[in-house]
Chains A and B, each alone.
Chain A
């Protein structure tokens, strides 16, 4: 009877979860291998790119963000937005001024 109120998306399949887990493991191996190579200025963008990909998979699939309500999605985007503001603006200050720490 209560289940008629429960219009949620059914649970994701086992294959989805195990596939996500395997993809995360493969990306971990790739990030370690990439870490031992020297791509010069690209070292950090590559490492962060892989980390962001992994995080996005965890958020969208394991944390069910893909099927969450629009307001929840807004909060998720807001958390990334404010993080980027905090780090980006702090760094822009240190890069553009002659600070000595």
Chain B
């Protein structure tokens, strides 16, 4: 069967061209525009959290820097590198679909998912640690004095040993005074924003996994061609957007207090 017979629908137009479009190019441009319009709403979706972060960081600059210092910069930087790597593999997946190498489109998409899993694995380690040192926001979870004590123990060569919760004063202990209680409340706000932003980001990655798997499956089945690769292009846009969100989250959450020294 010739390539022409494969690509022509039985009533005279390309099999991938929807009836309401004049040409594949017009269809591709319209679909890309639609995806960008969706990403615009996503920018504002995440933007609301960035706005909340900006306001509270403006209000409580000192405590936000100290709270940021509880995060692990090494793990954050590794995750940034992993995500940039996944953006490269995604860009290569799109490129392979443009040049007609569908098998490699599938391979690069699978590799993108593997990088994504690596990212979420690191994120799990971080969240677990944050939970263990009582940084999870919530009335019965958050204990700022405990987190500070855990950090102090770690800095003095305590390894990964955790302090005894009964020996650490509560955040509202009258002996610590009002200042300590306010500090606890402000730090809790930082971690509320931290968990909201990183988990919304992680949720986007999980949704991305699902869509990438479907598109990789179609690529292996031979659904795309240099004339029609729009779905690969669109999932690429989505994935790069998720990468960009992290490009901003990393310095704003992790590097905020780095200059204070750990």
- Shortest CB distance B22–A (Å): 8
| Minimum C-beta distance from B59 to chain A (A) | 5
Chain A, Cβ-Cβ closest to B41: A79
Instruction: Contact check, B44 vs A86: say whether CB atoms are below 8 A apart.
Output: yes
Please state if B259 and A17 are interface contacts (CB–CB under 8 Å): no
Taking CB atoms, residues of chain B closer than 8 Å to A28 are: 77, 80-81, 84, 250
B54 partner residues in chain A, CB cutoff 8 A: 87, 90-91
| A72 and B44 contacting across the interface, CB-CB below 8 Å | no
Number of A residues near B (Cβ < 8 Å) is: 56
What are the residues of chain A within 8 A of B244 when measuring CB–CB? Answer: 54-55, 58-59
Q: List 16 A-B contacts (CB under 8 A).
A: A2-B17, A11-B99, A14-B95, A21-B85, A25-B81, A28-B250, A35-B73, A35-B255, A36-B258, A36-B261, A39-B259, A58-B243, A62-B240, A82-B43, A82-B44, A91-B58
Please provide the chain A residues from 2 to 27 with a CB less than 8 Å away from any CB of chain B in the complex.
2-3, 5-8, 10-12, 14, 17-18, 20-21, 24-25
Say yes or no: B33 contacts A71, CB within 8 Å: yes
Q: How many residues of B sit at the interface, in one of the four size bands?
A: 35 or more
In the complex, how many angstroms separate the beta carbon of A20 from the nearest chain B beta carbon?
A: 8
Q: Is the CB of B81 within 8 A of A83?
A: no
Bound: A8/B25 CA distance, A: 7
Q: Is the CB of B251 within 8 A of A75?
A: no
Please name all residues of chain B whose beta carbon is closer than 8 Å to the beta carbon of A8 when the two chains form the complex: 25, 28
New A-B pairs, 7, CB < 8 Å, besides A1-B8, A39-B259 = A11-B94, A58-B247, A72-B33, A72-B36, A75-B36, A82-B43, A90-B51
How far, in angstroms, from A31 to B81 measured CA to CA in the complex?
A: 12
Alpha-carbon distance between A47 and B233 when the two chains are bound, in angstroms: 30
Which residues of chain B have a CB within 8 Å of any CB of chain A? 4, 7-8, 14, 17, 23-25, 28-29, 32-33, 36-37, 39-40, 43-44, 47-48, 50-51, 54-56, 58-59, 73, 77, 80-81, 84-85, 87-88, 90-92, 94-95, 98-99, 226-227, 233, 236-237, 240-241, 243-244, 247-248, 250-252, 254-255, 258-259, 261
A residues in contact with B251, CB < 8 Å: 31, 35, 47-48, 50-51
Q: Is B91 a contact partner of A62 (Cβ separation < 8 A)?
A: yes
Provide the bound-state CA to CA distance between A48 and B251, in Å: 8
> Which of B39, B56, B88 is the one whose CB lies under 8 Å from A18?
B88
Nearest-CB residue, chain B, relative to A55 = B244
Cα–Cα, bound, A7→B90 (Å): 23
The answer to whether B252 touches A47, judged by C-beta atoms less than 8 angstroms apart, is yes
CA distance A47 to B237 in the complex (A): 24
A31 and B255 contacting across the interface, CB-CB below 8 Å: yes
CB distance from A58 to the nearest CB of B (A): 5
Q: In the bound complex, do residue B240 and residue A87 qualify as a contact, i.e. CB atoms below 8 Å apart?
A: no
A79 contacts B98, C-beta separation under 8 Å: no
